[in-house]
A and B are shown apart, each in its own frame.
Chain A
Amino acid sequence: MGYDPANPMVDRITDIGPPHFEQFFPPVIKNNYGKWLYHEITQPGVLMHKSETGDECWTVRIGAARLVSIEYIREICEIADKHCEGSVRWTTRNNVEFMVDAKDKVKPLMDDLASRSNKFPVGGTGAGMTSIVHTQGWVHCHTPATDASGVVKAVMDELFDYFTSHTMPAQVRVALACCLNMCGAVHASDVAILGIHRKPPMVDHDAIAGLCELPLAIASCPLGAVSPTKATNSKGVEVKSVKVKNERCMFCGNCYTMCPAMPLSDPDGDGIAILVGGKVSNRISYPKFSKLVIPFLPNTPPRWPETVAAVKNIIDTYAKDARKYERIGDWAERIGWEKFFEKTGIPFTIHCIDDYRLAYDTWRTTTQFKFTSHIK
């Protein structure tokens, strides 16, 4: 039995899909499915859901790195077996949730979590910060313009108090994507940390013939910056290749995605842009895209002090200035983006003005504005 390499197709099982969710429910979830009445966050990181049956589900939420080992998961299992009848879940934002069916089971669980050094910080609820959703970075991807796990760790260390408290005007969702592909879809986050390239792709004339379909490489560029050319490879042989019109390039990296012979990463070219004010919830105002306020910060591993300081400054300024229930984007729109730049002290640069498609949508076409220090 077992896999037989000589007969890989023998009793092969395919297309069975994921296991049905219900088998993993703890009894309190199974018994009260669809019967929940209301919830309350009794302290940061602890939620109580009340059912119409009278049952209560107490959830303890902990922050986690997204990059975790099986040793860590086994430790989660140990905790879940001890306190939660062997059930546990992960949230969309990489938090872990331990659920128990009575209030008096919360404290032993929390004590246990607290006894395990800093591995299981409780928080991530309410008007605070929760885990930063992020992508792979230098740990596992080929196109990143920055690391992911390291930047996130450095930012979360600095903003840790916002994770374990409810002191902000509303929830703040921070996300990181290490290139413009945005695996993490950071484009609708209160604060988005985005890896960007700033040097056009190089063309490896030695490798291109074997690696790429030239028409696909040419078609990949949304701005038509890639065109066919004849080039001489390092053996002095003339080959069919492509060239890049540097002045047309917006450094999106799509050509590299399609053609591995067009790398664009660079230690000095690459870094981080900060976008703010996005959200996905439909609450009060429509969902919004995040807007670019800091075009570039350098990659400064291991702790990215510039990025950490920039995110902290934005969140601190917002926390001080915004009204209750106001998300960062709602706040910036109410006070006006000119005030946002003034209050945060972030320099407004020409790179904050859109010049891509539909750019006009973001230009101001009214005489209404505020006299801030920007007007000399």
Chain B
Amino acid sequence: MDELNETKCSRVREILTEILDDTADSTRNNLENCTQEVDGERVSMHLQSCDRCQNWQAQTEEMVDMARLLPQFDVSERLTQSILAQVAVVESSKQQQLSWIVYAAAVALFLYVMLFVDAFESVWGIGSWIVGLGTMIGLKLLIAEPRKESQVV
């Protein structure tokens, strides 16, 4: 094959590639409608007369079709369960972190009420005590209960 033809063929293949890349399923349709020319020759005309480009097109299409049929492996239930178990570990450590933050906040609030709001010296002070204690118990219940529920679900 002379150099001139080789350049022509590779340009034809560039155009064919664009068609193939655009809509792999309707290559033939698009090829028939394709009015692009290379050196004054329509791509479809070149294809009819050039064995090499015909081969190229057939081989490319076969490869692409074959790729769709390559076997795919199923994922075992064991792998799925292992993924879900790991996710559950992450989730529970997140909740633990969260519960520590809530505990720390509750303790800080409790200490604040005790040390800085003149606790025990007035009725109001005792009221603060109770509010602090109530907050702690309430928060503890709030974070402990959903965890139990989510394990059941």
Asked whether A and B interact, the reply is: no
Query: Which A residues fall within an 8 A CB radius of B?
Result: none
